Amino acid sequence: MSTPNEHAIFMVREAILWRLIQDFPNVSYDQYHTFITGLADRRTGESFLTILCEYQFQDPSVGDGIFLKTLCQEIYGLCNKYDYQLKRGWEAEHVHGWEINREILEACKRNMSFSPHLIQGDYLNSKPKKSMDVIIANPPYVRQEYLSSDYKQKLIEQFQPEFS
């Protein structure tokens, strides 16, 4: 089951907003909204995009790729609106996705018009080489009955101290 497109757009824009607020703490929601809708002046748009396009984005359970696809559409759309030159292949360097299921990942790649950095594997067992600035995700949709008892135990040992 895929996240509806309008929900993905909302989640991507909110994630961008909350990350930009870290670098632009004096920006109001109205100023951000003016930027994200392409109505800000070019200088303001370029200021936001210069920072935004340096971020590292990730979806740790990519599924059909709706969040990464929406993210790329939003970024490239903003670059067009503000006549901002984005480095060719930007998404391969800045947009990352993990998917545990090989078939789902292959389907995602076939349906994607962008080329983010996609990895087949379990994100929870990974040691990412880069730190991420923005994580956009839904929890993976997997019935716990499909997980082995060893894997469940490993997750408990790994994450229970974080939530105790």
Q: Tell me the pLDDT tens digit for each residue of 74-88.
A: 999 999 999 999 999
**12-39 pLDDT, tens digit each:** 999 999 999 999 999 888 999 999 999 9
Average pLDDT, the chain: 90
pLDDT surpassing 80 at residue 144: no
pLDDT of residue 143: 63
Residue 63 contacts residue 104 (beta carbons within 8 Å): yes
Task: Please check the confidence at residue 156 and state whether its pLDDT lies above 70.
Answer: yes
Contact, 76 vs 88, CB < 8 A?
Answer: no
Q: What is the Cα–Cα distance from 77 to 27, expressed in whole angstroms?
A: 21
Q: 5-163 has which CATH code?
A: 3.40.50
**pLDDT recorded at residue 128:** 75
Domain ranges of the chain: 5-163
Tell which residue, 82, 74, 97, has the closest CA to residue 50: 82
Residue type at 48? F
pLDDT, residue 130, reads 83
Q: pLDDT tens-digit profile of 111-140?
A: 899 999 999 998 888 887 789 999 999 876
Quick one: pLDDT at residue 155?
75
* Cβ count near 64 (within 10 Å): 17
| Rounded percentage of the chain residues whose pLDDT exceeds 90 | 71
How confident is the model at residue 140, as a pLDDT?
65
pLDDT reported for residue 40:
95
Cβ 99 vs Cβ 62: under 8 Å = yes
Q: Model confidence at 58, in pLDDT bands (50, 70, 90)?
A: very high
d(CA 2, CA 66): 7
DSSP string covering 115-162: --EEEES-GGG---SS--SEE--------GGGS-HHHHHHHHHHHHHH
